[in-house]
């Protein structure tokens, strides 16, 4: 499916984003993880566009978006995404985050609950039982072992676009953030997902996050690891669409 690329600016921040045309009654906004970029959601976005417009930004300092002059906290990124949604989205909004992106979208749901009607957390981080850079790096290496060439190639391409200092600073901010505390204040209907073989986000940790949410569902993505959204669009995209459809029927 053809998509178009645009630029969104707010204060000192500039984000390059892709827009996938779809029904204007709903907008899906997809937020990537650390070291990644909007390209990782390309195939997922094409499937989601059957039921809504899809917007996929590169967060500042990642992908094709330039680094701002100062480091942005997780909360700062949440405010930026809120401004982005207000400017670009139409209809009801489903906000989807992967890995570090889950920290940002959870903050959006907590700080600006009227901005979205459904939330999706894919591989929520950081596991509070392994809150150190060393442990997280070791888990990522374990998870990538045996992954498909597609996952490895896209990962390398995206990581080379990020400066080492920016990456290190963002990782520090990720480690300082407590998503398990934030989600307790999120009333938005939420789908929490993990890959069945994800070593970075083990089942006991992800179910803890799901249980902390007042209004959540939990699902596992069969035969997928941490980078479930890169390996193939399915079944992630259909699981998200099914969740949004179920929630819409209840309202």
Q: Give the chain's domain count.
A: 1
Q: Which of 17-21, 60-64, 105-109, 230-234 has the lowest mean pLDDT?
A: 230-234
Name the residue with higher pLDDT: 189 or 33.
189
Q: What is the pLDDT of residue 171?
A: 79
Length of the chain: 251
Whether residue 209 is contained in a domain is answered as: yes
d(CA 249, CA 238): 16
Whether residue 33 is contained in a domain is answered as: yes
Tokens of 141: 């290496």
Residue 174's domain is classified under what CATH number?
3.40.50.1820
User: In which domain, by residue range, is 183 found?
Assistant: 4-243
Q: Across the chain, what does the average pLDDT equal?
A: 86
Q: Which of 77-81, 131-135, 153-157 has the lowest mean pLDDT?
A: 153-157
Whether residue 248 is contained in a domain is answered as: no
Whether residue 250 is contained in a domain is answered as: no
Sheet holding 92-98, edge to edge: 4-10, 13-20, 53-57, 26-31, 92-98, 118-122, 190-195, 216-221
Q: What is the pLDDT of residues 141-195, one digit of tens each?
A: 544 545 444 444 454 445 566 667 767 778 788 889 999 999 999 999 999 999 9
Whether residue 251 is contained in a domain is answered as: no
Tokens of 47: 């499937």
């Amino acid at each position: 499916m053809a998509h178009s690329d645009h630029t969104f600016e707010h204060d000192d921040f500039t984000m390059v984003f892709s827009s996938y045309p779809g029904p204007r009654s709903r907008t899906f906004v997809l937020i990537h993880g650390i070291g990644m970029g909007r390209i990782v959601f390309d195939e997922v976005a094409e499937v989601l566009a059957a039921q809504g417009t899809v917007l996929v930004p590169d967060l500042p300092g990642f992908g094709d978006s330039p680094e701002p002059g100062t480091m942005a906290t997780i909360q700062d990124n949440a405010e930026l995404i809120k401004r982005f949604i207000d400017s670009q989205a139409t209809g009801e909004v489903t906000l989807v985050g992967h890995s570090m992106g889950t920290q940002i979208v959870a903050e959006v749901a907590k700080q600006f609950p009227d901005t979205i009607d459904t939330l999706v957390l894919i591989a929520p981080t950081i596991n509070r039982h392994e809150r150190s850079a060393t442990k997280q790096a070791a888990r990522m290496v374990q998870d990538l072992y045996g992954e498909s060439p597609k996952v490895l190639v896209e990962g390398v391409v995206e990581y080379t676009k990020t400066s080492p200092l920016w990456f290190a600073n963002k990782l520090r901010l990720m480690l300082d953030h407590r998503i398990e505390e934030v989600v307790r204040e999120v009333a938005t209907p939420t789908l929490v997902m993990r890959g069945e073989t994800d070593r970075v986000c083990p089942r006991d940790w992800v179910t803890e996050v799901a249980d902390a949410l007042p209004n959540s569902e939990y699902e596992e993505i069969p035969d997928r690891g941490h980078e479930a959204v890169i390996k193939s669009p399915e079944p992630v995209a259909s699981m998200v669409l099914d969740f949004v459809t179920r929630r819409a029927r209840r309202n």
